[in-house]
Amino acid sequence: METNTALLLALVLPALGTLGNIFLRDKANLRDSVTLGAAVATFLCVLTILGNVGNGTTAPLTLFEILPGLDLAFNVEPLGLLFALIASGLWIVTHVYAIGYMRGNKESHHPRFFACFSLAISAVMGIAFAANMLTLFLFYEILTLSTYPLVAHKGTAEAIRGARVYLGILIGTSIALLLVAVIWTYALAGTLTFAKGGILDGKVAGPLVAVLLGLYAFGIGKAALMPFHRWLPAAMVAPTPVSALLHAVAVVKAGVFTMLKVGVYIFGIDFLAATGASQWLIWLAGFSIVAASVVAMTKDNLKARLAYSTVSQLSYITLGMALATSMGALGGGMHIAMHAMGKITLFMCAGSIYVATHKTDISQMQGLGRVMPFTFAAFLIGALSIIGLPPLGGSWSKWLLIMGAADTGQWIMIAVLMVSSLLNVAYLLPLVGRGFFLKGQGIKADAKIAEASPLVWLPPVLTAFGCVVLFFYAGDIQTFLSPIVAAE
């Protein structure tokens, strides 16, 4: 298959999944199979692109001109391809999980749920393959709007409040800051097409560079940089599959992915390093990393704790960009993959516990490890990967980030990354300890295994296994990403 055909199919197939859910709303099994088919086909398309292009960069595929000189255009480059691979691959796993979760939990409005879910994936593909900032911005907003119904899904007062915060912050920052940044960039550079080495070198100088970077950094609300992180905990009212794929992988990664794209292809790493415009962002990201970890420790609700953990981990990637070195950018890019695999495991485990026991608070999960060994084992592996211990994927990206910090002499940031690892241990591992070693009420020592259906516990086991596999392929990912920082 031709690369461009595969690219368009990867954009359209999830949208077809949306249509399938709308038109087949009364036939549950057929509907879910169609979506699964769309997910598998999307992943195959992305794999085809990988086979064809490798880690090369293709010429933009222009669909049409939106404004004079500004096209709706797509192309393939390593960072976007990696993001598309992760999102489409994990979509398959999550879809299987979501079927089990939604049915096992007797949630309502399945067609609307899966229709919006597929549409969100379509938007993610658009973001991953966008050839310029305008196209990216278009799909960025579609992603916000298509996930809003998922957050409001339960329709309770709490869900509506959460959805308001979600939409308010994401739309608010994107219109008030990101849009201005995009238009300003266009006014300065006369183009918005992503290009190696950036498009702003020589077009703007002095403190204005830092101001523009600030508009981007805060405007990309999906990256959950403090103080615009409140939407992520608010989004946790959504059903767990949404939290797993969208708010641990697709949506938040779309944010930090955009952040990296802006750093690498709009500003250019060298330009940022030369102007020192991203110095302040290093400090803010460092603060975000530690502060969010500390907040996470205070949360008893498991999903809320994981949400704050995500806020903290996202700032790793922002930090990687702000360091403005090739190691940092590579580490950030790789962390997109590593954190995705680890965090989706944790969220799916949280959902698995909820389906089986309807418990949401960590303090109530004593002894559950004995009856749900698969779930808790997967959680342990995911947690260790987030902490960054070998032989799990998370250790490599953290390693690269530390190297990047060392390159620029940011010793304090090395300390921040280390402290963050310790904090990770402190807020993730107690759950495993409680589950396995403490005695729960009404759970006998010889209790039988009482997991939810395999549709719910198998996916996290698979992704936990993925965390191990990624450890051994980290070198390949680094080689794969290396062109984004290679000199011309």
Q: Which residues bind another protein (CB under 8 A)?
A: 64-68, 72, 134, 137-138, 141-142, 145, 149, 152, 155, 160, 164, 167-168, 171-172, 175-177, 179-180, 183-184, 186-187
Instruction: Count the Cβ atoms, other than its own, within 10 Å of residue 371.
Output: 19
The least CB distance from residue 168 to another protein, in Å, is 7
Pick 131 or 386: Cβ nearer another protein: 131
The least CB distance from residue 235 to another protein, in Å, is 16
Contact 116, 147 (CB under 8 A): yes
Q: 71 has which bridge partners? A: 65
The least CB distance from residue 255 to another protein, in Å, is 17
Pick 172 or 483: Cβ nearer another protein: 172
The least CB distance from residue 181 to another protein, in Å, is 11
The least CB distance from residue 459 to another protein, in Å, is 30
Instruction: Count the Cβ atoms, other than its own, within 10 Å of residue 298.
Output: 10
The least CB distance from residue 370 to another protein, in Å, is 41
The least CB distance from residue 202 to another protein, in Å, is 19
Pick 122 or 366: Cβ nearer another protein: 122
List the structure tokens of 262: 């802006």
In the chain the first and final C-alpha atoms are separated, in Å, by 30
The least CB distance from residue 138 to another protein, in Å, is 4
Q: How far apart are CA 201 and CA 210, in angstroms?
A: 13
The least CB distance from residue 112 to another protein, in Å, is 10
Q: How far apart are CA 353 and CA 451, in angstroms?
A: 8
Contact 252, 206 (CB under 8 A): no
**Residue-by-residue DSSP string for 213-231:** HHHHHHH-GGG--TTS-TH
Instruction: Count the Cβ atoms, other than its own, within 10 Å of residue 408.
Output: 17
Pick 215 or 295: Cβ nearer another protein: 215
Q: How far apart are CA 155 and CA 114, in angstroms?
A: 16
Pick 67 or 486: Cβ nearer another protein: 67
The least CB distance from residue 164 to another protein, in Å, is 8
3-state helix, strand, coil in the chain (%, to 5): 75, 5, 20
Q: 62 has which bridge partners? A: 73
Q: How far apart are CA 172 and CA 163, in angstroms?
A: 13
Instruction: Count the Cβ atoms, other than its own, within 10 Å of residue 242.
Output: 28
Query: Is the omega angle on the peptide bond into residue 227 within 30 degrees of 0, that is, cis?
Result: yes
Pick 169 or 344: Cβ nearer another protein: 169
Burial of residue 297 (CB within 10 Å: 0-12, 13-18, 19+) is: middle
Q: How far apart are CA 216 and CA 211, in angstroms?
A: 9
Pick 68 or 206: Cβ nearer another protein: 68
Q: How far apart are CA 273 and CA 289, in angstroms?
A: 22
Q: Which amino acid is at 73?
A: A
**53: Cα within 13 Å, side-chain hemisphere:** 28
